[in-house]
Amino acid sequence: MSFDPRSLGKVAVLQGGSSAERPVSLMSGGGVLAALQSQGVDAHAFDPAERNLLELKHEGFDRVFIALHGRHGEDGTVQGALELMGIPYTGSGVMASAVAMDKVMTKRVWQAEGLTTPGWVWMAPGQQAREQVMAVPDTLGLPLIVKPPREGSSIGITKVTGYSQMQDAVTLAAQYDADVLCEEFIDGIELTCPVLGQGADARALPVVRIDAPEGNYDFQNKYYTDVVQYRIPSGLSAAEEAEVQRLTLAAYRTLGCRGWGRADLMLRASDRRIFLLEMNTSPGMTSHSLVPMSARAAGMSYEALCLHLLQNASLDSARN
């Protein structure tokens, strides 16, 4: 018997929101909404920046596709509200969303589990005086990366190649987050690997290699140009591809993720060692996005991916 998309009920696609990634979320949400509607789902756009979330309950929505990115969408807050309202949603639950959104907490969890991640220095608001900022390259070496620990889409990130750039890099990152994360720079191949599912049933999709001009995979190149090359198959050896997928699944399960996610990684050129950078629990679904690209290489269309994720919408409370 074939699946009837109408059985999913009234669906809200959460998009937009109030984070710095609002423009990307609107693109993701627009794509998801069109895909679901094309498959016969009773799907409606819903922007939490313009409407009260309680309207989801009052208007009888049966489930939610979260196409929000960044704060108040990917950090456990919306997930918690949906838990309280009893409305199943796509992606990870409250704890995994909150931990994965914070790159420092993610690194601490991975490090405790023996998973490789670049070295880092965390700078709280009271630890960003000039002498402390200028001491960071002595610890991490140069070049290094400075970023806000709770933003995505390459927002507020600087690759620092000299001491003179440090203060400006920290000032920029601090515009988006009170805390600042300084991270060891890994020179090599940039990779990403999506995951679908939960626990033992989670499976890694094909690895994507990202070749950006001069390694500059920034916000503009991610979403508004076609200068970045995405390679699927990745061009890695079979053993390296398998190792990236193994590490990604371990990172995903360690954080308690479910539904879907996408790990960003680096393969160091000097020794072919693989480093985990971060886990995205509400990845992009735009025309340039990586999860749809990888799913397509695995034989799953954009529309089928959206339906699959929506079918697996759930609640943390239903698992206890």
Contacts of 226 (CB under 8 A, 6+ apart): none
Catalytic residue selected from 177, 241, 264, 316: 264
Catalytic residue selected from 25, 28, 280, 294: 280
Active site residue 184: no
Active site residue 153: yes
Active site residue 21: yes
Catalytic residue selected from 63, 71, 209, 262: 262
- C-alpha pair distances (Å), 138 with each of 142, 184, 272: 8, 11, 25
Active site residue 55: no
Give the residues across from 194 on adjacent strands. Answer: 262
Catalytic residue selected from 284, 294, 302, 316: 284
Catalytic residue selected from 21, 74, 151, 316: 21
Catalytic residue selected from 92, 153, 282, 294: 153
Active site residue 264: yes
Catalytic residue selected from 278, 294, 302, 316: 278
Please report the beta strands in 185-247, taking only residues with DSSP state E, as ranges in sequence order.
188-196, 203-204, 208-211, 229-231
Active site residue 164: no
Expressed in angstroms, the distance from the first to the final Cα of the chain is: 31
Neighbour tally for 65: CB within 10 Å: 28
- Relative to beta strand 63-66, strand 10-14 is parallel
Q: What DSSP letter does each residue of 142-171 carry, written as one string?
A: SSEEEE-TT--TTTT-EEE-SGGGHHHHHH
Catalytic residue selected from 217, 223, 252, 302: 223
Token pair of 57 as six digits: 């309950």
Q: What amino acid positions are annotated as catalytic residues?
A: 21, 153, 223, 262, 264, 278, 280, 284
